[in-house]
């Protein structure tokens, strides 16, 4: 009888322990922070060519200067506009599809330039609406960036400015032609 009572006590004790563990796990799961979303990160290059590491999880981001661990000095790049190409030579009017000759020229350029990274900026004249020109210049920048990536080049950014950054007047045909362009900035050490 004593063996039976002891066995019953052990079973009751084991069941109580199991219930306690389950309750503790449930309470811990309710108090544990929920991880949602993802953290985006990268390197940002400011106007003077100096690099910064950044991260953003959606609530609050941060940015740190990228410094050389040996010297503590900021890591800065040499940037220059290494190509300004009139879009009339790369694309048909009102199109973001590259011509065969334009594609060949860009492939040759990106294969031989020797920069470690590029920024590509698309521009238009002011003949269409601002919204339309932004979209067209963005698609053109993306087409040029796709060629760069196809030959192994690293494209840091591609931006379409539309008509917002003219280099000439939009009141003459010659000025509008100058404004229809793709600019490529090269990043070098």
Residue 145's domain comprises 78-188
Query: For residues 156 and 105, which has the higher predicted lDDT (pLDDT)?
Result: 105
Residue 1 and residue 91 in one domain? no
**Other CB atoms within 10 A of residue 106 CB:** 25
Query: For residues 51 and 148, which has the higher predicted lDDT (pLDDT)?
Result: 148
pLDDT at 15 over 80: no
Question: Which of 76, 107, 139 corresponds to the end of one domain?
Answer: 76
pLDDT at 4 over 80: no
Under DSSP, is residue 116 helix (H, G, I), strand (E, B) or coil? coil
Residue 53 and residue 136 in one domain? no
DSSP state at residue 110? H
What number is the average pLDDT over the span 128-155?
97
> H or E segment at 5?
helix 2-31
pLDDT one-digit tens code per residue, 18-63: 555 565 555 555 666 665 668 888 887 787 788 888 888 777 788 8
pLDDT at 110 over 70: yes
Q: What is the mean pLDDT of the chain?
A: 86
Give residue 87's pLDDT: 95
Give residue 23's pLDDT: 58
Residue 101 and residue 156 in one domain? yes
């Amino acid at each position: 009888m004593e063996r039976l009572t002891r066995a019953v006590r052990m079973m009751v004790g084991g069941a109580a322990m199991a219930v306690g563990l389950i309750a503790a796990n449930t309470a811990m799961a309710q108090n544990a922070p929920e991880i949602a979303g993802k953290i985006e990160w990268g390197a940002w290059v400011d106007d003077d060519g100096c690099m910064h590491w950044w991260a953003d999880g959606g609530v609050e981001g941060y940015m740190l200067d990228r410094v050389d661990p040996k010297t503590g000095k900021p890591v800065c790049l040499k940037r220059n506009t290494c190509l300004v190409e009139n879009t009339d030579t790369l694309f048909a009017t009102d199109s973001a599809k590259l011509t065969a000759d334009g594609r060949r020229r860009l492939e040759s350029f990106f294969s031989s330039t020797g920069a470690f990274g590029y920024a590509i900026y698309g521009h238009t004249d002011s003949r269409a609406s601002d919204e339309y020109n932004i979209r067209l210049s963005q698609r053109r920048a993306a087409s040029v960036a796709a060629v760069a990536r196809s030959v192994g080049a690293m494209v840091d950014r591609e931006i379409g400015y539309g008509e917002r950054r003219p280099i000439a007047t939009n009141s003459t045909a010659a000025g509008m032609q100058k404004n229809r362009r793709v600019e490529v900035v090269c990043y070098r050490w």
